[in-house]
Amino acid sequence: MKRLMYIAMLTALAAVPLMAVAKSELASPNGRLQLTVDVNDNGQPCYKLDFDGNEVIKPSLLGLTGRQGNFATGFTIDSVATASHDDMWKPVWGEYEQVRDHYNELAVTFVQVRENGVTMTVRFRLFDDGLGFRYELPEQPSVNYLTVTDEATEFNLVADNTMYCIPGDYDTDEYLYVTSALSKVATPLNALRGRHSESHAIDGVTVQTPLMMKSPDSKTYINIHEAALVGYPAMSLDVDTLTYGLSAHLTPDRNGVAAYLQLPFNTPWRTVIVADNACDILASQLIYNLNEPCKIEDTSWIKPQKFVGVWWEMFIGKQRTWAYSDYYKAKPGVTDYAKLSPNGRHAANTANVKRYIDFAAENGLQSVLVEGWNEGWEDWASFLKNRQFLFDKPYPDFDIDELQRYAASRGVKLMMHHETGANAADYERQLDRAFQFMVDHGYNSVKTGYVGAIIPRSEYHSSQWMVNHYLYVVQRAADFKIMVDSHEAVRPTGLCRTYPNWLAQESARGGEFESMGGNPPEHTTILPFTRLKGGPMDYTPGLFETRLSYYGEGKTGQAGTTLARQLALYLTMPSPLQMACDLPENYRRFADAFQFIKDVPVDWSDSRYLEAEPGDYITVARKDKNSDDWYVGGITDENARTAVVDFSFLPEGVDYVATIYADGKDAHYKDNPQSYQITTKKVNRKSRIKQAIAPGGGFAMRLTPQK
């Protein structure tokens, strides 16, 4: 049993019940951040945040409003309690072997003076790298339950910051990013809105979190998100382009209610990460620190891993299908699959899956994802009307018993796929049977999916009911010792600390879009500053055949990447679950480059961000958790760049052999993506390497101690 290790160094607690406290102040452990909490003339709770003596957040409102009580106005401060905390904890997997949780805390209790007045506590935690706060609504005589319609929380910025953001949308986050001054963000956001099949774009100028920002003088980097989203809808931010104000916008259900709460209730934490450089934003563990410790006692079955999949061949125009037959074209609502005639293009057939199992076994990859193995895809394709997938009914050409035997004989695991077609209600009905079916057939991980409009129809992908659903699936999966990779789920908020079987999520525009219009190179220089702050992403890197015309059949265009950059993504987009997305035949064509994917770990004992700028570049060094090897990865945007790798992170007195996978001299993501070179060099902690990166390119290094 891997238990969380606590080294409590200092915990002080002081409750100061005061009559009508005027205002309250708190400093971060290093003193650079300063928080002030107050009530204004209308009795509205408010806070402000300073960094190095300058305002980062101007006075901003706090509170929520519900039908049974107003938790936003008419307050005075009743009491204030402070505390300090400093300890280390060990994640089951991640970028660091241990994480320091170090903050000063201020819990401010507000009361309303008038009759039937309510009370609420706002708990603030101020770390060296930012602020977290949440609303704590105690059980109280005048309010028993609360139908929340609005949250008053504001983040009023002091300047026309550069924003790296995607449009507010209740249903999808699979957008490209806008980089814009806050005051001018409306036009580019509008141009992106509603382009996705799941989309329900929010009216007005609204952005999703994690929202990344940089001050106009480039001296302050700010990231706003939330932590521990449990029992509450996801938050977007309405933008006031004139005053630079941001305000909370909760995802409602289709009746306009954001949350149904039974008191006592604690909301998710609202988070503001603040740093004077971009690397510190990437390194921040604030969101994980605000999540609860691991709730799974025995975590020995949770295994970081790499996988291949019967997957990309369905995306790239080889006319391979998820469905077994084309029957839906004639008549939707099939009942007897065994009688259907196969379309001859169904990818999840036993022979094809064995090919992938062989490939995984030969190359030391742990598992094989198979999509389109089960009944229901005909109905789904008939167009998202009444789809129902069956999670214990393999298609006739998918011999699950034979594949279980074959995979086991080759030491490979099969990864289950549950595409629900967004019919979450039906998925919950089938869930236990589906998980038992997995256990009976040797599966220990599942990729879930929610493509389409949610059933129940009252809900959105990021509404309270669905937030509860995704977590329920993960919790129930843990009872069956199953790891989860959820696609089209609400953006993550660090809950994988508490439930580390939640290995990864999609919840952003992933690599699959290279087959559907492409991802410009800057996309992956922004994601680590935004989506990844909530948790690892199943981005599906490893695309070697980047020329779509290679696949024939009318596909044209070029993925927004060089081949070498795809290797770097395993380091710049850290995840305990990494796909090698391309076809086995393409990896065989570039076997020397594929060696890196075979070697690269997915679990780290340490990480050092060496250089970074959102939208431009990232260079990171990481140490393997299971050996003395270090790895370095770097990417750029559409511009060529020279990365400077300073190896002073290496230990004293050890020489390393660096195997360097880099763009070729003439490489370019647009017209020469497959030009790469592999070289070796000796390095030690005194070395510095200037590493050229092609436009849209990247590099990856493996450093092995010299024997």
Would you tell me which residues interact with Ca ion (CB under 5 A)?
522, 615-616, 637
Q: Is 346 in the site for ligand NOJ (CB under 6 A)?
A: no
Distances (CA, A) of 392 to 72, 336, 348, 439, 503: 49, 15, 15, 11, 23
What does 128 interact with, of ligand NOJ, Ca ion, none (CB < 5 to 8 A by kind)?
none
Q: Is 512 in the site for ligand NOJ (CB under 6 A)?
A: yes
Q: Is 506 in the site for ligand NOJ (CB under 6 A)?
A: yes
| Whether the Cβ atoms of residue 265 and residue 601 lie closer than 8 Å to each other | no
Q: Is 384 in the site for ligand NOJ (CB under 6 A)?
A: no
What does 93 interact with, of Ca ion, ligand NOJ, none (CB < 5 to 8 A by kind)?
none
Q: Of 512, 514, 545, 611, which residue is the catalytic one? A: 512
Span between the terminal Cα atoms of the chain, in Å: 34
Nearer Cβ to ligand NOJ (380/609): 380
Smallest separation (angstroms) from Ca ion to the CB of 636: 9
Residues 461-500, one symbol each (x = binds ligand NOJ by CB under 6 A, - = not), give --------------------------x-------------
| Whether the Cβ atoms of residue 591 and residue 563 lie closer than 8 Å to each other | no
- Give the whole-angstrom CA distance, residue 607 versus residue 572: 10
Q: Is 371 in the site for ligand NOJ (CB under 6 A)?
A: yes
Q: Is 449 in the site for ligand NOJ (CB under 6 A)?
A: yes
What does 101 interact with, of Ca ion, ligand NOJ, none (CB < 5 to 8 A by kind)?
none
Nearer Cβ to ligand NOJ (359/389): 389
Smallest separation (angstroms) from Ca ion to the CB of 204: 27
Collapsing DSSP to helix, strand or coil, 424 comes out as helix
Q: How many residues bind ligand NOJ (CB under 6 A)?
A: 8
What does 396 interact with, of Ca ion, ligand NOJ, none (CB < 5 to 8 A by kind)?
none
Distances (CA, A) of 331 to 338, 342, 377, 393, 397: 16, 15, 13, 20, 21
- Give the whole-angstrom CA distance, residue 370 versus residue 594: 21
| Whether the Cβ atoms of residue 159 and residue 134 lie closer than 8 Å to each other | no
What is the β-pairing status of strands 130-137 and 265-266?
antiparallel
Q: Which residue, among 268, 280, 224, 282, has the nearest Cα to 57 in the 3D structure?
A: 224
Per CB under 6 A, contacts with ligand NOJ among 260-319 are 311
Nearer Cβ to Ca ion (134/509): 509
Q: Which residue, among 65, 82, 94, 77, has the nearest Cα to 38 in the 3D structure?
A: 77
- Give the whole-angstrom CA distance, residue 35 versus residue 24: 8
Residue nearest to ligand NOJ (CB): 419
Distances (CA, A) of 532 to 57, 284, 287, 542: 23, 11, 11, 18
Task: Give me Rg for the CA atoms of the chain.
Answer: 25
Smallest separation (angstroms) from ligand NOJ to the CB of 510: 6
Out of 186, 283, 451, 640, point to the residue binding ligand NOJ (CB under 6 A): 451
Smallest separation (angstroms) from ligand NOJ to the CB of 523: 15
Q: Is 419 in the site for ligand NOJ (CB under 6 A)?
A: yes
Whether 292 is catalytic is no
Smallest separation (angstroms) from ligand NOJ to the CB of 512: 6
What is the β-pairing status of strands 33-39 and 99-112?
unpaired
Which residue ranges make up the site for ligand NOJ (CB under 6 A)? 311, 371, 419, 449, 451, 487, 506, 512
Catalytic residue numbers read 512
